[in-house]
Amino acid sequence: MLNKLKKLQRTSTFFFLRSISHTPSWISTNSTFQRQPRLILLERCQSLRDLLPLLSYIIISGLFHNPFVASRTLHSCITAGWPDLSSPIMLFKQMKQPNLFSWNTMIRAFARSEDHRRSAFLLYDEMLERGVLPDKYTLPFLLKSCLCDSDIHLGRLVHAHAVVLGLISDPFVQTELLIMYFTCGSSIHAIHLFDEMAYRDVVSWTALISGLVRQGCNDKALEVLNDMRMGGVDDATPNVATMVSVLSACVNLRSLVHTRGLHAYLEKVGLVGEVFIGNSLIDAYSKCGSIGCATKMFDGMRRKDLHSWTAMITSLASHGNGGEALYLFSRMVRGDILPDSVTFVAVLCACSHAGLVDEGIRIFGCMERVYGIIPELKHYGCMVDLFSRAGLLNQAYEFILSMPMEPNLEILGSLLSACRVHNDRELAEVVAKKIESTCEHIGGSHVLLSNIYANEHQWPEVVSIREATRGDASKPPGQSCIEIGGSVHEYFIAEDKSHPFAWELHSLLDGMGKLLEGS
């Protein structure tokens, strides 16, 4: 067995060495790597097939006892895609004196593993007990574990350690803490931390804006962008990632005025030519109600990728321009741009909204046959919606029964809603029973069935359903919003008095009501 391993590593090393074009700087300063040039291959291994021959050589030759070689070997084992962490853990335990790089490597691996996230903190405690102090990379790796579990208590513990160890002033640590607080839902702590930062680069500003958008503070995100632009710091000039986050805020606000303003700014700073920015602008204009601006943006893009075409097809479909969406899809395919799963969702939605049943059936059929894309639940949902909108209720139900996976509430609810529109009580009862048997949350399905009974004046059934489901189905409060002078006002939740002009608004409405009564 040993001879086979030696032969395997000699053969593989020969071919790998021939492919090396440059050497990382840290290798040129390490005497061990200079004496053992085949160790350079550790930085070239992209798979276990590449790594295993070299790993056998390192272990057999005794080079693994060198702390530096051991640390790079451990790092390569993890980055090469080892199926689980059992082997890297075993290698780590064989190290007599792991260096800080090895500790960081294992902590990072644990934090990213769903099964070992808590082990990251246990390993960190062991590292401190053995007298190894963390650096600016250790704590951010620990914070990754907090992000996955949204555990703000552990996040605050890491924050405290950063203060005690004197790492709190490091921009890398501060930015990761900022992201952690936003992810855990504590925007107040995140903003307070940002205000205390002595140095803010584009990464920290972007983290703040992105976090505010995720928390629904879209107006605040736009204000932060203005502060960032007025700061005049070279390291804090908005980049592509920054502007994509801000465009998301415009989408959430449905503010066409702000979207146009950002578009003008992007043209001024020369970012509008970035494909990712162009795609985001198409999406923003569409969701803010201007399909014309979205189309103009798409037509003006010099470079387009698959996401550009998909964004434009989605925009046309959502605005009811199904025919134009299908024409654009055909142009895309003729241009040798292969669609993906998301593209087919957009195309099938276009067929559904335009009532193009035959075209939808044809496109659904060619997904796997022509493009090798296996339909997923969302594609089946589009087809059910297509049949339901067209009034083909029995065909929609037969299609559901033929699905290779269980339908979800959204799919069954789509058919049930169509049953109400077309007043098909018998099928509605069948679908409602299937919802009860397959879906954990039944949502408003009983309300729809009750309305169908009400349309047929079957009041005992209506009373029976509503008594049985009293308190089970709840609907989030509706809300209206209006954009005036570039400001978006969200208002009109029932009994809501949180708006700063609530008294004036109610007085005006009361006055309008009295005028209408007198007319």
In this structure, are residues 435 and 445 in contact, taking their beta carbons and an 8 Å threshold? yes
Kind plus residue range of the DSSP H or E element containing 39: none
Return the structure tokens found at 33. Answer: 């790597």
Which residue is it, tokens 């001024």?
268
String of DSSP letters for 88-153: HHHHHHT-SS--HHHHHHHHHHHHH-TTTHHHHHHHHHHHHHTTPPP-TTHHHHHHHHHHHHT-HH
Q: Cα–Cα distances in Å, from 456 out to 420, 453, 462, 469, 470?
A: 11, 5, 10, 20, 22
pLDDT at position 31, please?
A: 52
* Among the listed residues 361, 405, 423, 419, the one whose alpha carbon sits nearest the alpha carbon of residue 386: 361
Give residue-wise pLDDT tens across range 308-337: 999 999 999 999 999 999 999 999 999 999
Give residue-wise pLDDT tens across range 188-237: 999 999 999 988 999 999 999 999 999 999 999 999 999 998 876 656 88
* Among the listed residues 174, 256, 260, 247, the one whose alpha carbon sits nearest the alpha carbon of residue 209: 247
Domain locations along the chain:
200-303, 395-475, 476-519
Q: Which residues contact 51 (CB under 8 A, 6 or more apart)?
A: 45, 76, 77, 80
Give residue-wise pLDDT tens across range 41-74: 677 777 778 888 888 888 888 888 888 888 888 9
pLDDT at position 3, please?
A: 55
Backbone angles phi, psi at 305, to 5 degrees: -110, -175
Q: How far apart are CA 348 and CA 363, in angstroms?
A: 8
CA angle 271, 274, 278 (to 5 degrees): 100
Higher pLDDT, 373 or 453: 373
Give residue-wise pLDDT tens across range 129-171: 999 999 999 999 999 888 776 788 989 999 999 999 999 999 9
Give residue-wise pLDDT tens across range 344-383: 999 999 999 999 999 999 999 999 999 999 999 999 999 9
* Among the listed residues 336, 362, 335, 337, the one whose alpha carbon sits nearest the alpha carbon of residue 348: 362
Give residue-wise pLDDT tens across range 396-414: 999 999 999 999 888 988 8
In this structure, are residues 320 and 353 in contact, taking their beta carbons and an 8 Å threshold? yes
Return the structure tokens found at 95. Answer: 């190290």
Q: Cα–Cα distances in Å, from 406 out to 367, 411, 430, 431, 438?
A: 20, 10, 15, 13, 8
pLDDT at position 116, please?
A: 85
> Is the four-CA dihedral 91, 97, 99, 105 of positive or negative sign?
positive
Report whether pLDDT(94) > 80.
yes
Q: In the predicted model, what is the mean pLDDT of residues 78-88? A: 83
In this structure, are residues 355 and 343 in contact, taking their beta carbons and an 8 Å threshold? no
Residue 48 burial by Cβ neighbours in a 10 Å radius (0-12, 13-18, 19+):
middle
Residue 473 burial by Cβ neighbours in a 10 Å radius (0-12, 13-18, 19+):
middle
Backbone angles phi, psi at 478, to 5 degrees: -75, 160
* Among the listed residues 428, 365, 371, 373, the one whose alpha carbon sits nearest the alpha carbon of residue 396: 428
Report whether pLDDT(180) > 90.
yes
Q: Cα–Cα distances in Å, from 473 out to 293, 355, 420, 462?
A: 40, 31, 18, 15
Report residue 434's pLDDT band, with 50, 70 and 90 as the boundaries.
confident
Q: How far apart are CA 187 and CA 269, in angstroms?
A: 30
According to DSSP, residue 490 is labeled E
CB atoms within 10 A of CB 401: 8
In this structure, are residues 117 and 149 in contact, taking their beta carbons and an 8 Å threshold? yes
Q: In the predicted model, what is the mean pLDDT of residues 498-504? A: 66
Average pLDDT of the chain is 84
Q: In the predicted model, what is the mean pLDDT of residues 386-390? A: 94
Q: In the predicted model, what is the mean pLDDT of residues 278-294? A: 96
Q: How far apart are CA 392 and CA 514, in angstroms?
A: 48
Report whether pLDDT(35) > 60.
no
Report residue 459's pLDDT band, with 50, 70 and 90 as the boundaries.
low
Give residue-wise pLDDT tens across range 261-280: 999 999 999 999 999 999 99
* Among the listed residues 287, 329, 334, the one whose alpha carbon sits nearest the alpha carbon of residue 308: 329
